[in-house]
Amino acid sequence: MVLSMVVLLVLPACQGALDGLGQKANKPVPKKLVSSMKAHGMALTSPIMLRIFKQENTLEVWKRKDTGRYALLTSYEICKWSGKLGPKFKEGDRQAPEGFYRVNKYQMNPNSQYHLAFNMGFPNAYDRSHGRTGSHLMIHGACSSAGCYSMTDDRVEEIYAMARDAFKGGQKAFQIQAYPFRMTAENMVKHRDHKHYKFWQMLKRGHDHFEITKIPPKVNVCEKRYVFNTDSTQRYPSSGQCPRRKMPATLATAFVDTQTKYNERFESLLAKVEKRDPLPIAPVDVAEILPGVTVLPKVSDLNPVAGSTSVAN
């Protein structure tokens, strides 16, 4: 008995302890969501992806349709998240992570002290390359957070059920994209002087890849930065030089066009804030925005490279 109490006391704040109850983990997806899935051409067991926006207190559940693309199924209000806008740096800083994470089946915890939970996978390869530390960073219930994203119990039951059924359908792991705010030009202008602005610019590239393709991007880490939707015959060393990489021309072109339009929008908004005329914006160059990437011959669609749903761990 004494040993059990000691174990509970040393558990990290968001890890949770076993309470011996498993029925809550087996509740079916609510009928209203099942009906919505059918209306969107989604199967109950088709893959999912989650997006988090801290500032808006929003968690989105995206699900793959019969077309192969993902669509927004539903959104939930986040009950509590810890810290401020910005990434997590070290164990005990009570900061909720930002970045791209991967949840495998073994990271699901049906017996959490916080009702239900799943581990986000922090630290990932990017976090480790920057020496960041932390453990047991979860999305869980109980509306109580010390470094995690906490939901109400009823909401986490629905999210957990959709993840559980996706695993039953064969999904190996689902992606979580955690952002400080919606990655709009308006928000980027507002936070342009923030100390984490360059980090958020990098996250926005992954965000934009998903917005273009509606398929979770393939995420790798090299040179201590995220790279998206590229393929290589060589290993991606998280702290070392990026390997020679490839990207389909259709995707590269769409990404470059998106960045050009964004830059124009950003400059227009910034000019209004600074009370001046907008400066002319040159089109984005492929070599500038995708350094070290070879653009492959055009294909018929915007499908990213094979294995697009992976995240470097």
List the catalytic residues. 140, 148
Q: How far is CA 290 from CA 245, 284, 286, 287, 293, in A?
A: 10, 10, 6, 5, 6
Burial class (CB in 10 A: 0-12, 13-18, 19+), 4: exposed
E strand or H helix at 83, and its extent?
Answer: none
Distance, C-alpha 106 to centroid of its chain: 19
Beta-bridge partner residues of 61: 50, 74
Over its C-alpha atoms, the chain yields an Rg (Å, rounded) of 20
Question: How far is Cα 197 from Cα 114, in angstroms, rounded to an integer?
Answer: 33
Distance CA 313, CA 232 (A): 17
E strands in 180-290: 219-222, 225-228, 245-248
C-alpha–C-alpha distance, residues 266 and 116, integer Å: 41
